[in-house]
Chain A
Amino acid sequence: MAQPQRPLSPFMQYRWQYTNTTSILHRITGILLSLCFFVLVYWLAAAAAGPDRYRDALEAIASPLVQFVLFAGLFSFCYHLLNGIRHLFFDAGYGFELPVARKSGWAAVIGAVVLTAVLWVTLGAMLGGAA
């Protein structure tokens, strides 16, 4: 019995290109930032609970796993910030010309990598929690 030839979902037929990459990266970094939101609340709550609990929290944050999450979170912050600004320009109706959209996409990715490196060096020592 022949299956009717129905069109595939866009998800199944789009070829991979920079537009999918910038879009899915925005979503993945958004999810990671949501996770980091809980780390932020944990940090604030520990500070409010007093110096002893705060010291314990800094030790927990200094663990390699949390450090990895924070590093990913820092990159997510930088990328989501830059690509988010790019999207606000799209929403206002600017930057849809293909060469411009391609350049701004690359700028968001490269800018995020550079900004992450700079901020990790600046903040890394303290986020590492010299507890």
Chain B
Amino acid sequence: MSLRSPLGRVLGHGSAKGGSGHWYSQRTTAVALVILGLWFVASLAMLGPGAPHEAVTHWLASPFSAAMAVLLVLVGAWHALLGLQVVVEDYVGDKGTRVVVLVAIKFALVVAGLIGVLAVLRLAFGLQP
């Protein structure tokens, strides 16, 4: 005897129906990152040799730069999450390990993304200690 009803045992074995959303988000973030990535490389070049602190604060004091930097962090974390998820699902066979790795990646990227956004906002609003 099991706690689960016969109906409960057979339900929920099909597709999660979220695949096309994942695929579409991966592409949308990819297009955004083409723009954001090129902007970031150009910005790095303009910061000058050694990227001095004053240059970084001046750069992110501009609302446009700050907005682009926040987007780079958010969209970058999202794209990385979607991409790493596909790689883990393809190569990590054991179901338990897979779930643990996927959750760990999600936690790490959410925390790092949040730190990145707060750091940019702090510089954008000039909240120097």
Show the binding face of A for B, using Cβ within 8 Å.
27, 30-31, 33-34, 37-38, 40-41, 44-45, 47-51, 54-55, 58, 77, 81, 84-85, 87-88, 91, 119, 122-123, 125-127, 129-131
Contacts and interface: CB of A to CB of B under 8 A. Distances in A.
A1 to B, nearest CB: 25
Nearest to A77: B37
B49 A45 contact: no
Contact of A48 (B87, B108, B122): B122
Contacts of A125: 49-50
24 contacts: A27-B83, A34-B80, A34-B83, A37-B77, A40-B72, A41-B73, A44-B115, A44-B116, A47-B53, A50-B129, A51-B53, A58-B50, A77-B37, A77-B41, A81-B34, A87-B30, A88-B30, A88-B31, A122-B45, A123-B44, A123-B45, A126-B45, A126-B47, A126-B48
A127 B73 CA distance: 19
B128 A50 contact: yes
A44 B124 CA distance: 11
Interface of B: 27, 30-31, 33-34, 37-38, 41, 44-45, 47-51, 53, 56-57, 60, 69, 72-73, 76-77, 80, 83-84, 87, 108-109, 112-113, 115-116, 118-120, 122-123, 128-129
A119 to B, nearest CB: 7
A38 B83 CA distance: 16
Contact of B56 (A54, A77, A81, A129): A54
B77 to A, nearest CB: 7
A87 B33 CA distance: 14
A32 to B, nearest CB: 11
A45 B56 contact: no
B51 A84 contact: no
